[in-house]
């Protein structure tokens, strides 16, 4: 198939229009580059948001477990300990999903939703947007 010329631009054998002159070709290339950079930037942002949230929820779980342990040592009340854990978790923007006590330690599980733009809207990724962490704090002094 031969390429045909129509007006100031060119048309390829498949009928795609090519802008005439160097300016048109450069601006088209620049727009494509910007689109690719935008998509790559969004993916990087999502990954960084998920990674930072996972680290922060782990740090928060450690601190909340210690705070809850101290309250349990002082009051010996699981209900009061859960209330203190929930309050401490809220200061970190996290939610307590479990507080458990065994013979040696108190365990606290937290979860925190990552601030993503797109990942929370994609089915298979939606569950990864809310990382959780469990930390234990020993009950013995």
Q: What is the pLDDT of residue 15?
A: 53
| pTM: predicted TM-score of the whole model, two decimal places | 0.73
Q: What is the CA radius of gyration of the chain?
A: 27
Q: What is the pLDDT of residue 126?
A: 82
Residue 52 lies in a domain: yes
User: What's the total number of domains in the chain?
Assistant: 1
Coil, strand or helix: which one is 47? helix
What's the domain range around 129? Answer: 21-138
Residue 63 lies in a domain: yes
Residue 3 lies in a domain: no
Residue 15 lies in a domain: no
Rounded to whole angstroms, the Cα distance separating 102 from 78 reads 12
Q: Which pairing describes strands 105-111 and 95-101: parallel, antiparallel, or unpaired? A: antiparallel
- Contacts of residue 69, defined as CB under 8 A and 6 or more positions apart, other chains included, come to 105, 106, 137, 138, 139
Residue 4 lies in a domain: no
pLDDT in tens, 41-57: 999 999 999 999 999 99
Residue 11 lies in a domain: no
Question: Which of 21-25, 45-49, 118-122 has the least mean pLDDT?
Answer: 21-25
């Amino acid at each position: 198939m031969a390429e045909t010329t129509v007006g100031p631009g060119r048309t390829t054998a498949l009928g795609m229009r090519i802008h005439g002159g160097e300016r048109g070709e450069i601006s088209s290339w620049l727009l494509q580059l910007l689109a690719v950079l935008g998509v790559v930037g969004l993916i990087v942002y999502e990954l960084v948001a998920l990674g930072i949230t996972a680290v922060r929820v782990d740090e928060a779980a450690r601190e909340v477990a210690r705070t809850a342990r101290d309250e349990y040592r002082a009051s010996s009340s699981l209900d009061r300990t859960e209330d203190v854990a929930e309050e401490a978790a809220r200061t970190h923007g996290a939610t307590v999903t479990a507080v458990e006590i065994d013979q040696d330690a108190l365990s606290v599980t937290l979860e925190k939703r990552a601030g993503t733009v797109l990942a929370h809207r994609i089915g298979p990724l939606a569950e990864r947007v809310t990382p959780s962490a469990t930390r234990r704090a020993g009950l013995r002094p």
